[in-house]
Amino acid sequence: MNHHKIANNYLDFQTGKIPPQATDVEEIILGQILLEQHCISEAMPILFAELFYKEEHQKIFTAIKNLYSSNNPVNIITVIQKLKDSAELDFCGGAFYISGLTNRVSSSAGVDYHIRIITQQYLKRQQIKIGMETINDGYDETKDVFETQNELENKVSNLNKHIIGHDFESDLSEEIEKTYNFIVTPRKTRLTGIPTGSPMLNEITGGWQAGDMIIICARPSHGKTSRLLQYLIHAAVEGFKVAFFSIEMNKQKIHTKMINHISEINAEILKNQTWDNSQLISIEAVKNRIKTLPIYINAKSAITPNYIRTVVWERKRKYGLDLIAIDYLQLMMPNEVFRGQQEENKIGSISLALKNLAKDMNVPTIAISQLSRECENRQNKRPIPSDLRYSGQIEQDADMILSQYIPSKYYRKDSDPDYKSEVMSDWDYSRISETGILKNRMGETNLGIKEYFYGELSRYYYETKPEPNKSNENNPF
């Protein structure tokens, strides 16, 4: 039954006033969904037909919802055809009206902002309807006053669900029981999240935790992207579904890095095509292996947190999703429009949006962040949290901050205060990379994990590899 129509007719008859409505905003919402495809997955979880005041708009939205629910494309052509199939196209204004809805989209505000407006108007209509029904019941001598009171409370309670959802139904006793079982259930390892691929990092963190925002930070050329890709590849090999947003590199470069990493064939060999037959066979085998990994790569530039939210929401709904990664935070665009050079506000807005994304999706979200030059001006070159560019909001929002530090970028072995006394070759020293635990909301901090970074392989190891035989250029080791 059409609740909206009952309310409107009832109110028109009783008061002669036009019920609260915002039909122009309704048109914008429908136009955004038809024109900007990323809006639909954001709108569907919070929209329902009765939010629209005009019955024509209710029918248009219902056609959109039916197409979306059956995984069919939603656009002007498919919606017109859907309405035509149900013999409702003429009632809704015809193809010309449907097409014209997109012309209403002139505001830069997100669809969620517009939905809040029509939700408020819907709630006002329902409040008026409840009030008028309660007044009539009060004058009805045949109706028991306590029955009227119970009905009023039930109506208000149902209306509140549109405002706060079902959050009020949360049961602490049930939730704490689940948490207790999670804590005490025996596990083979301390791993409670997605494995990182680093045994020591797993031991410290328990893996990537659902709902956490993790920041990987370093100065340029310290292997941030390679470090992130190694984490993602390991998770995908373990069967976890990954969404990777690369704003800095295109897909071909990412694919090349993945082949470079998994095959352990020198990047120069791939670039110059100086492989031998066995290496070429290995490259093809790795390519076929990568094709099976559950990694989604998006390499669009100038993307916003809202765009990422829309994409990952859709992927989670259709395919499932376990891990989100972004390279890198400072290259993103904020959801809001900031005028002037308010870089700190922009980055802070992006950081907070990514933290909310991780929490709402209940999926660990890893983002790379640049560091300022401050660490290079100190005697100890290792990064600290305040070195994060525009650090205030990032440092506050992050659940974990990992830094990458390569000592040989700043020192020779014999002048490095931390390593000059250690017995190792210059070759081994040049490969040392430290992963610093700068922040760990649920565990230890100010720890360092020593690894060995081979940039020509886009890969980290926990032990050094032999120095290459310089007489054999095709064999990096």
pLDDT tens track for 256-308:
888 888 888 888 888 888 888 888 888 888 888 888 889 998 888 878 887 88
457-465 average pLDDT score: 81
Distance CA 154, CA 241 (A): 43
* Dihedral angle sign, alpha carbons of residues 195, 198, 199, 202: negative
Amino acid letter, 232: L
Cβ–Cβ < 8 Å for 259, 283: yes
pLDDT interval class at 185 (50, 70, 90): low
Q: Where in the chain is the domain with CATH 1.10.860.10?
A: 3-169
Cα of 300 vs its chain's centroid, Å: 15
Q: Which two tokens stand for residue 247?
A: 């704003």
Buried b (16+ CB within 10 A) or exposed e, 152-163: beebeeeeeeee
Identify the helix (H) or strand (E) that includes residue 298. Answer: strand 295-298
Cα of 413 vs its chain's centroid, Å: 41
Share of the chain above pLDDT 70, in %: 84
| Residues sharing a CB contact under 8 Å with residue 187, sequence separation 6 or more, in sequence order | none
69 or 213, which is more confident? 213
Q: Is the pLDDT of residue 339 over 70?
A: no
pLDDT at 3 (0 to 100): 39
pLDDT interval class at 82 (50, 70, 90): very high
Q: Where in the chain is the domain with CATH 3.40.50.300?
A: 199-461
- The sheet carrying 295-298 orders its strands as 295-298, 242-246, 323-327, 365-370, 213-218, 400-405, 432-440, 447-454, 459-461
Q: Is the pLDDT of residue 152 over 50?
A: yes
pLDDT interval class at 341 (50, 70, 90): low
Instruction: Return the DSSP state at 467.
Output: P
Average pLDDT of the residues of the chain: 81
pLDDT at 62 (0 to 100): 92
Cβ–Cβ < 8 Å for 317, 41: yes
DSSP result, 422-444: S---HHHHHHEEEEEEEEETTS-
N- to C-terminal Cα distance for the chain?
74
Cβ–Cβ < 8 Å for 385, 399: no
Distance CA 135, CA 370 (A): 63
pLDDT at 5 (0 to 100): 40
pLDDT at 88 (0 to 100): 93
Q: Which two tokens stand for residue 287?
A: 């390519």
pLDDT at 321 (0 to 100): 92
Evaluate whether the domain defined by 199-461 bears CATH number 3.40.50.300: yes
Q: Which of 9-13, 250-254, 380-384 shows the lowest mean pLDDT across its residues?
A: 9-13
pLDDT at 389 (0 to 100): 65
Q: Is the pLDDT of residue 331 over 80?
A: yes
Compute the 3-state secondary structure of the chain and give helix, strand, coil in percent, each to the nearest 5: 55, 10, 35
pLDDT at 222 (0 to 100): 85
| pTM, to two decimals | 0.64
219 or 2, which is more confident? 219
Which class is domain 3-169? mainly alpha
3-state secondary structure of 401: strand
3-state secondary structure of 10: helix
pLDDT at 395 (0 to 100): 82
Instruction: Return the DSSP state at 280.
Output: H
Q: Which two tokens stand for residue 89?
A: 């196209």
Q: Is the pLDDT of residue 171 over 80?
A: no
pLDDT at 342 (0 to 100): 67
35-61 average pLDDT score: 85
